[in-house]
Structure 1
Amino acid sequence: MHLRARTVRLAVAALVAGLALTGCSAPEPQNGGGEGEQTLRLALSAAPTDLSIGNGITGDPTIYLAVYDRIVHRHGDQLEPGIAESWEYNADRTQLTLNIREGLKFSSGNALDAAAVAANIEAVRTIPATTQLVSAVSGVEAPDPSTVVVTLSRPDASILPNLAEALGAVGDPEVLGEDSSKLAPIGSGPYILNTEKSKTGSLYVLDRNEDYWDVESFDFEHVEIQAIPDPAAVQNALLAGQIDYGNVGADVVSQFKDNPKFHVGDTTGGFPILALIDRTGSIVPALGDVRVRQAINHAINRDEIVEKLLFGQGTPTNQMFNPQYGAFDEGLLEKGEYDLDAAKKLMADAGYADGFELTMPSNFLTAYYEPTLTQSLGDLGITVTWEPVQFTDLYPKVFGGSYGAFFIYGAGYPFPAQDANASLTGIFNPFGYTTPELDALVAAANAADESEQDAAFKKVNAYLVDQAWFAPLNVGKSSFVTTAEVEFDPTVGYGFLSAFSVSN
């Protein structure tokens, strides 16, 4: 589960957000473009700062995934053809062959062939935000225009499903690494960014790519996206008919449920996680003792958090794996049960009966949970200091060793290999900590046949819970609202415009 460095992606998903009603002009609540054309109006919580290849795994991916097509597609936990019409592994799963769809072109008119796909995979191997996600890739070749061969130094079951996400986006090789692609990306996706009508930082206009190979899956000829940092405004924007979709809190969703102008539905929300990343105790010595990390898990009353903070809209969990899929283990939940007496004994056994001091970064994501976490850890004598940090500075400070623990949102993936990879790399394991036992479990799971992967990754899950690498809190449930003219399918996946259709 996680926002792969993508970590943030889930948090942002939980905050998808509001259209400001002042300070900028909102689209008129009617169809745009030519006669009979449909316009979908959305709001994001933050404007994208870099749409170049490799930068779509952080922040909201909606525009990125609209402009770029991906090597593989997915619907829920099913992988489907994308730029690659088919694929196959060799016997030991160290070579992945991608069979590229013929006749594809970028919006620039340049051909999208195997060489272009290979160039993009090579590019993400060198980009800081993505390099760990493809660390198993040792080589990429395009022996002919319709074939890409990806060689792996070791089996990695997360590679293929990751190619169905932002990691698998393919841009025109002519502008790979060019500054121009940050705000004027060139892809082959279902939409083209209209740079003339868009206003960087506030309004993004997408026009449907009529040459896209699967254009019939996209009902809307145009998409207008406002980027506004005020989540609360989404409620008013929906009520005013200024946007067609938005996430709303459990405390306000009742305003929409009985209103015939809207559809209301639920989807999995963010996974709030207290990441206990200093597993060697080099920054906070106490965290190097597994008993302290286990004590922290027992000191958190997850049931009460769901009831009082989430108004019942969520499920307690102590696991980093998505509870909707096979690596999640109901039997492990007892290891995260609230038991303050057991937690205090563990602290005493570890030599920290009087607690210790812990500094963690504070930002807009942590504010809601700070009082609860301060109280829960305080019950163990742990004195928490919340240090204000701009979210843009969070990653550098975490990777730089400023904190032994921090709070963030993650996102559960439909494939356990992705959850495992996200838990063991990037922001969730910034110091690259591992053990021989864990390495063996991960290697066995990655090498397993698809039919055996759930059971194999369940062992990885058990190890992470036993060693208390993390203290996940819950799996949130997010309510979304659409106007009556728009339907949204949450099983498609967050950020994909194919999830939206014209209501019949």
Structure 2
Amino acid sequence: MLKLNFDVPKKFGTVVIMGLLVGLLAITAAACGSDDEEEAAAPAAPAATKAPAAAAKVEPTKAPPTAVPPKEGGGTLIVANDLIGPRAFRPSVITGGAHSAFGLQDWGMYDFLLRADYSAPPTFGEGGGDGLATEWTLDRPGNKITFTIRDDAKWNCDEGGGMVDAHDIVYSFTESMKEGTKSTRGPGLKTWMESWEATDDRTAVVTLVPGKLPSDWMMAIGNHGGGSIPIVSKKLADLGGDKDLTTFCGSGPFHITSWTSEEEVVAAPVPDNYRAKPNMIDELRVVQIAEANAKVAALKTGEVHMANLPLKFTGPTNDAIDGSWLQPVGKYQPQTVYFSGNYWARTSYGFDDPPKEIFPREGLKADADHPWIGNPDDDESMENARKVRWALSMAIDRESLTRNVFNGLGGSTYTYTDVMPDHERFNPEWKVEYDVEGAKKLLAEAGVPDGFEMDFWVSPDNTAAVDPEAFEAIAQMWQDIGVNASIEKTVYAARRPTLVARSIDIPFAHHTFFLTIDQPKGGSLVPTGGFNHGVELPEEIGQLRYANETETDLEQRIQNNLKMQDYLSHWQLMASTVTLQPTWTVRPEVADWKPHQQAWGMFNSPETVKMK
């Protein structure tokens, strides 16, 4: 029997989403309480609509089995992670992923500017006062947000140490957003953050791009799990040279004592940290184990205490270890195939003012070797490519993926906007029926009756968001319609530059993530300077995303998103397939762990761990 660490209904999705909404409101509640703040937060909390739900077929229990009480403190916790990347701690060179300094915020080594307190699943938190900012004030007419920085946060280093101040906040954001940055979040922030300044040691002020403040801006700088920039020490950077590039100096409840790329990160607790819990563990080790079978073996032998396994392995592994338990972390992740190369935007609308001509992008290769890519200047090309994409989506047996890859822990999904089939706003026309013969017919109509060959990128090191086995199974299903997909297993950090440059031209595996039905959608489908899903929407559709950033009417925001989904479904620019609920297998030596229920399901909150 599966043993889970919280008591939830069978539909994880509804519970987790609503919990995340509570957290978003909780961050708001920690602010100064001005009318402007309430106005800013309101778009992110559509209480009148039902949240999407993901099917889950398990009967959870309320708590991990524990015959032995927790220690008063101490012990070593060993966590398996897909990759331990190179030492790189300067904000402008930190790329995404739990393997880099980007993930050290979740691991308790860096801090977020805004942070919701922990609370047990399914809620997201009750307060927002334990981030580096203790309060904030939004001046909408003046296009500024003012943050008050706490006075009890210290840097965990000798050189470049001392107290965290507003100058550190300003430096971290400015460095992340500067020209040529490799930061995964900096370019996106720059679309609505114009500049930062410290008016004194405890006050950081961001000047906003007029009219560009997104309704969900708090999530971009908080610990909701979508990732934010690490706050680092300006004092360390001021020492010059590359000392700040390779020297760790964080302000979290854990301090790195050693970092060996492709092996492990070792950290020790900081007992006097403002966020420290009583009687924390003595040592945290995060070790690199990428392959699922190796993780299973390490769990069974006790070499690691917890690992995020593909759902196919969670039940059998849990049953094989007496006293172990399963801990779901975060919201479900719809597993999505993006048919990249369909860059149809003519200008950089919404990003550059005035917009610049960007067409055609490097990855727009509407030719015989890329039959899923349509040329917007050629109606026949567009229609043939649409039929190819529909055929690829129709050839995916979603029920089989849920049953055979995820052990029934999930459900079919068909939308980029994350509106599940049981949601009252779901349009039945969005559903893609499994139909191999129908898919073959579409390929024939598109001029490729015998199928074709293509590369298919499936990142091996992003398992908190992507289950490689699911996409490998999809590639096998495509063989039934004559499509031979060769799996490309490039690590995410190496492939990501092609997403930013809009040069990727092959289908690839990723996820989608949205908290509410009304929040702005399509941020990765419009012309920006940052991450992109290999698709750029024409302006009349992409502008729906920007309209929702300032639209105050809930129903209008929902209608804008439904219109976008109608377009995406018609053109089938991505194939949303099944939901993945990130679930960690935890050995019995761990008596308690209260992970923050953030978006991506990464390991987090080591300060809450108690060993037996």
Q: TM-score, normalised by structure 2?
A: 0.66
Matched, 1:163 2:221: yes
Please say which of residues 305-314 and 371-380 is displaced more in the overlay. Answer: 371-380
Q: Following TM superposition, by how much is the alpha carbon of 1:265 offset from its aligned partner in structure 2, in angstroms?
A: 3.5
Matched, 1:250 2:312: yes
Q: Following TM superposition, by how much is the alpha carbon of 1:114 offset from its aligned partner in structure 2, in angstroms?
A: 1.7
- Give the structure 1 partner of residue 397 of structure 2: 301
Q: Following TM superposition, by how much is the alpha carbon of 1:356 offset from its aligned partner in structure 2, in angstroms?
A: 4.7
Task: Find 2:186's aligned residue among 95, 110, 131.
Answer: 131
Trace 1:351-430 onto structure 2 (pairs within 5 A). Answer: 355-361=451-457, 364=460, 368-369=469-470, 372-386=473-487, 389=490, 392-397=493-498, 403-410=504-511, 412-414=513-515, 417=519, 420-422=522-524, 424=526, 426-430=530-534
Q: Following TM superposition, by how much is the alpha carbon of 1:235 offset from its aligned partner in structure 2, in angstroms?
A: 2.5
Task: Find 1:63's aligned residue among 104, 110, 119.
Answer: 104
- 1:311-353 Cα offsets, whole Å, 9 max, x none, are 3232221223456999995436843332445545555565555
What CA distance in whole angstroms lies between the structure 2 residues aligned with 1:41 and 1:375?
35
- Give the structure 1 partner of residue 85 of structure 2: 48
What CA distance in whole angstroms lies between the structure 1 residues aligned with 2:506 and 2:525?
14
Task: Find 1:148's aligned residue among 179, 204, 225.
Answer: 204
Amino acid corresponding to residue 113 of structure 2 in structure 1: I
- Give the structure 2 partner of residue 121 of structure 1: 173
Q: Following TM superposition, by how much is the alpha carbon of 1:193 offset from its aligned partner in structure 2, in angstroms?
A: 0.9
Q: Following TM superposition, by how much is the alpha carbon of 1:487 offset from its aligned partner in structure 2, in angstroms?
A: 2.4
Q: TM-score, normalised by structure 1?
A: 0.78
What CA distance in whole angstroms lies between the structure 1 residues aligned with 2:234 and 2:553?
33
- Provide closer, same or farther for how the CA distance between residues 113 and 403 of structure 1 changes in structure 2, counting only shifts above 3 A: closer
- Provide closer, same or farther for how the CA distance between residues 221 and 457 of structure 1 changes in structure 2, counting only shifts above 3 A: farther
Matched, 1:486 2:596: no
- 1:265-287 Cα offsets, whole Å, 9 max, x none, are 44456543211121148314432
Q: What SS does the aligned partner of 2:586 have? A: strand
- 1:173-221 Cα offsets, whole Å, 9 max, x none, are 13349643444311211111114xx545423221222332221278334
- Give the structure 1 partner of residue 254 of structure 2: 191
Q: What SS does the aligned partner of 1:188 have? A: coil
- Provide closer, same or farther for how the CA distance between residues 252 and 103 of structure 1 changes in structure 2, counting only shifts above 3 A: closer
Is contact 1:112–1:172 with CA below 8 Å preserved after alignment? yes
Q: What SS does the aligned partner of 1:149 have? A: strand
- 1:229-279 Cα offsets, whole Å, 9 max, x none, are 343233333333332212234346335348553222444565432111211
Amino acid corresponding to residue 243 of structure 2 in structure 1: S
- Provide closer, same or farther for how the CA distance between residues 189 and 388 of structure 1 changes in structure 2, counting only shifts above 3 A: closer
Is contact 1:445–1:457 with CA below 8 Å preserved after alignment? yes
Please say which of residues 295-304 and 210-219 is displaced more in the overlay. Answer: 210-219
What CA distance in whole angstroms lies between the structure 2 residues aligned with 1:150 and 1:46?
34
Task: Find 1:444's aligned residue among 541, 547, 554.
Answer: 547
- Provide closer, same or farther for how the CA distance between residues 56 and 207 of structure 1 changes in structure 2, counting only shifts above 3 A: farther
Q: What SS does the aligned partner of 1:472 have? A: strand
What CA distance in whole angstroms lies between the structure 2 residues aligned with 1:435 and 1:217?
54
- Provide closer, same or farther for how the CA distance between residues 380 and 284 of structure 1 changes in structure 2, counting only shifts above 3 A: farther
Q: Following TM superposition, by how much is the alpha carbon of 1:71 offset from its aligned partner in structure 2, in angstroms?
A: 0.2
Amino acid corresponding to residue 305 of structure 1 in structure 2: L
Is contact 1:445–1:456 with CA below 8 Å preserved after alignment? no
Please say which of residues 159-168 and 318-327 is displaced more in the overlay. Answer: 318-327
Task: Find 2:579's aligned residue among 459, 475, 495.
Answer: 475
In proportion to residue count, which structure has more strand?
Answer: 1
Q: What SS does the aligned partner of 2:154 have? A: coil
Trace 1:291-330 onto structure 2 (pairs within 5 A). Answer: 291-322=387-418, 330=426
Is contact 2:173–2:186 with CA below 8 Å preserved after alignment? no
- 1:458-503 Cα offsets, whole Å, 9 max, x none, are 4344543344221122112344222333323455332322574327
- 1:131-157 Cα offsets, whole Å, 9 max, x none, are 332132222222233332223321223
Trace 1:85-104 onto structure 2 (pairs within 5 A). Answer: 85-91=134-140, 94-104=143-153
Please say which of residues 415-424 and 319-328 is displaced more in the overlay. Answer: 319-328
What CA distance in whole angstroms lies between the structure 2 residues aligned with 1:278 and 1:403?
6
What CA distance in whole angstroms lies between the structure 1 residues aligned with 2:538 and 2:86?
37
Q: Following TM superposition, by how much is the alpha carbon of 1:302 offset from its aligned partner in structure 2, in angstroms?
A: 1.3
- Provide closer, same or farther for how the CA distance between residues 503 and 389 of structure 1 changes in structure 2, counting only shifts above 3 A: closer
Is contact 1:115–1:145 with CA below 8 Å preserved after alignment? yes
What CA distance in whole angstroms lies between the structure 2 residues aligned with 1:388 and 1:373?
15
Is contact 1:263–1:482 with CA below 8 Å preserved after alignment? yes
Aligned-residue identity in percent: 18
- Give the structure 1 partner of residue 339 of structure 2: 276
Is contact 1:356–1:383 with CA below 8 Å preserved after alignment? yes
Is contact 1:67–1:190 with CA below 8 Å preserved after alignment? yes
Is contact 2:257–2:267 with CA below 8 Å preserved after alignment? yes
- Give the structure 1 partner of residue 357 of structure 2: none
Amino acid corresponding to residue 49 of structure 1 in structure 2: P
Q: What SS does the aligned partner of 1:246 have? A: strand
Amino acid corresponding to residue 201 of structure 2 in structure 1: P
Is contact 1:283–1:403 with CA below 8 Å preserved after alignment? no
Is contact 2:592–2:609 with CA below 8 Å preserved after alignment? yes
Is contact 1:321–1:327 with CA below 8 Å preserved after alignment? no
Q: Following TM superposition, by how much is the alpha carbon of 1:85 offset from its aligned partner in structure 2, in angstroms?
A: 1.3
Is contact 1:492–1:499 with CA below 8 Å preserved after alignment? no
What CA distance in whole angstroms lies between the structure 1 residues aligned with 2:321 and 2:475?
40
- Give the structure 2 partner of residue 495 of structure 1: 603
What CA distance in whole angstroms lies between the structure 2 residues aligned with 1:142 and 1:151?
11
| Long gaps (5+) in structure 2 | 1-12, 14-69, 344-362, 375-381, 462-466
- Give the structure 1 partner of residue 265 of structure 2: 204
Q: What SS does the aligned partner of 2:558 have? A: helix
Q: What SS does the aligned partner of 2:325 have? A: strand
What CA distance in whole angstroms lies between the structure 2 residues aligned with 1:83 and 1:224?
25
- Provide closer, same or farther for how the CA distance between residues 39 and 362 of structure 1 changes in structure 2, counting only shifts above 3 A: closer
- Provide closer, same or farther for how the CA distance between residues 234 and 357 of structure 1 changes in structure 2, counting only shifts above 3 A: closer
What CA distance in whole angstroms lies between the structure 2 residues aligned with 1:93 and 1:453?
26
Amino acid corresponding to residue 279 of structure 1 in structure 2: N
Structural RMSD (CA): 3.9
- The alignment of Structure 1 onto Structure 2 pairs a total of residues equal to 470
What CA distance in whole angstroms lies between the structure 2 residues aligned with 1:472 and 1:217?
43
What CA distance in whole angstroms lies between the structure 1 residues aligned with 2:559 and 2:484?
38
Q: What SS does the aligned partner of 2:411 have? A: strand
Task: Find 2:302's aligned residue among 237, 241, 247.
Answer: 241
Is contact 2:255–2:267 with CA below 8 Å preserved after alignment? yes
Q: Following TM superposition, by how much is the alpha carbon of 1:397 offset from its aligned partner in structure 2, in angstroms?
A: 4.8
